[in-house]
Structure 1
Amino acid sequence: MGSTEIIRTAFDSPQRELGCEFMDWEGWYWPSTFGDSVAEHHAVRNDVGVWDASPLRKWGFSGADALAAADRIFTNDMLGLVAGQVRYAPFCDENGKMVGDGTVFRVDDAFCIVVTALDTDLDHFRKVVAGLDVEITPYTVETPQVGINGPRSPELLQSICEADVSSLRYFRFWPEKVEVGGVPCWVSRTGYSGELGFELFCEPGGAEQLWAAVVGAGARPYGLAAVETIRIESGLIFIGYDYFPGETSPYDMSLDKMIRFDGPDFCGKAALEAESAHPPNRLVTLVLDGDDVPEYGAAVTKDGAPVGTLTSPCESPTLGKVIGMAVLETGCATVGERVEVAVGDGTAAATVETLPVYDPEKARPRA
């Protein structure tokens, strides 16, 4: 787009009416908070919340090689997707360093939807899939998106959805649009919360009606301030905080299960295969002693020697402790290991815990 004007989502107006504060990230206004981010956090953990995730970049892959293109880009098996299935993975450069991460939704044999974080992903995609029969079209502005997350999300969605929500399995979506609050939507059982959740994609003209239906049914709106504490508890990574394009390996993010070597070549495969036997770093959760929250990117040491970085810290509303995700040298990444984290002019002791520290078996989103 030629303009530098910050883009407002199709849900912007009703959120402003509710007193939402916004922040600019990558050229879009994202909801930040509706006034009480801790209460918003607890709504997602204990009841049901809704957030406007529209600025996440959506791409339409169309053509005979649509799935083959996604498979060449991402480290996970995308050719094996069936219609109505979703799969998550990182995507890398030739050196095996992450460019980004995202999800692939297979609609049919010749069309899939890809969701990532940045506009610049398109340049990378086109370079990687050169020679394949695929057209990649930006869909972000045309495809507003909300997440409905929390243990009561199925009940709420069912109250306004024409289809049987209970029939939708984890990481599946309906390839045909269904009406939610009278608005045609793609409905997916995916999310970014570590809770049972759904993502809804509609057209801009139906966005305000959809928002009114979801909020009217009892979902509490929340913004990025709550998303941040929710994702850190749930071990969900975020670009520019936990990993950096061109610098971070997916093994640094402990994404081993999202990397497959038994299929066709993908971008960065050789470099990752060489690293796979002995990844030098691991992503863990640290639980800190004390009440002081360190800075993002704070140094982590062991007996005074550098061993890693605290990527995303917060005061956890669920656990009542200061926690953070951290990239540590593999030798220090064992649960129970004690390390130090830079805080202010000194350090705070911390203990290595599981990733995620909240619901480590990830049973809640599959409930």
Structure 2
Amino acid sequence: MPDAPHDAPAAGPLAGLRVLDLTLARAGPTCVRHLADWGADVVRLEPPAGPGEDVAGRRHGADFQNLHRNKRAIQLDLKSQAGHAAFLRLLRDADVVVENMRPSVKRRLRVAWPDVHAVNPRIVYGSISGFGQDGPYADRAGVDQIAQGMSGLMSITGLPGQGPVRAGIAVADLTAGNLLALGIMMALYERMRTGVGRWVTTSLLQAQVFMLDFQAARWLVDQEVARQAGNDHPTGIPTGVFPTSDGHINIAASSSRLFTRFCAAIGRPDWAERPGWTTQAGRSADRVAINAAIAEVTRSQPAAHWIELFEEAGIPCGPIYAIDQVFADPQVQHLGLAMPMQSPALGRVDVVSSALDFSGHVRAVRRPTPEAGEHTREVLREAGLSEAEIDAVTGAAP
């Protein structure tokens, strides 16, 4: 992708791309993980540990190990003159910088877009914030759950009348990271034509409102405020969770064609002709009665019975797993969604694989999640710093 590629430790679609990772928490590292997993040479810049900080305990936790594989790690104190000077040296050969600091913090550290662009006009600079780089909330602290609440997501999650419910994953963080990775690749593509980098930004609030998708469109187009619908699809009935003799399953038979086939499959073809149940709008209006009628039938047999029956009829359905059952599923195993990593600190562990596949490339951990400062001297030597300069950066005795 870059015009003047660097040497990379292993081949991949992004081999030759040099990325400086200034991110913290989850949203920024999610973005960088896409780049690292597919061959970019990612250098993670971390501040020196504070007094009493349990660096090893945090780094060796499942979350950190999963977020930071395929990277190198260095320690730089950007507040110090030597640390900032080293950062500027690293910028000369970098293609991408990714950060998720508050706007005022990166300006104070002199690592904001104007500072970086002045040193290397080819840099693509990616930023994630809580609420945007400017505007009335620009310097507010933003975390995933705050964005879930302000975006409206919590108002439509959960059972009717339950009150606000957060989603079970950090969906705003993850979506912001995914979107920024896409934006960075767009900017790199443009740079092939122009030779000049761009500042690409998104925020947790933007990402989460974007993810409302059809629920947001219901308001913008029709002025309809979506409400909590629990496990039922808000507009397509019947789509939801139904009991079986040994648990629950998901069934999705919302179109008139699917509903007719569904009714035939469970031995109630009369339902497809019942007045009020022949249209999606009618089924939506009478969802409580429809769901109750279906539940009376499905609870008579185990989940495997219904899944086999509905699969034969071409009706979307599936089991409802706990997380351990997810990774025991044969299709999940076939897709390789648990990716092995050999960690010097932890031994052989599995991390969550990339969800992308490229013909001719294999998903793999090229580098285990690094220890704090593991590659500091190596990376600074590559940037041309002398041993004396490196000692000044690291605080090593002369």
Sort the TM-score into its range (normalised by shorter chain): under 0.3
Q: Which has the larger radius of gyration?
A: 2
The TM-score normalised by the length of structure 2 is 0.23
The TM-score normalised by the length of structure 1 is 0.24
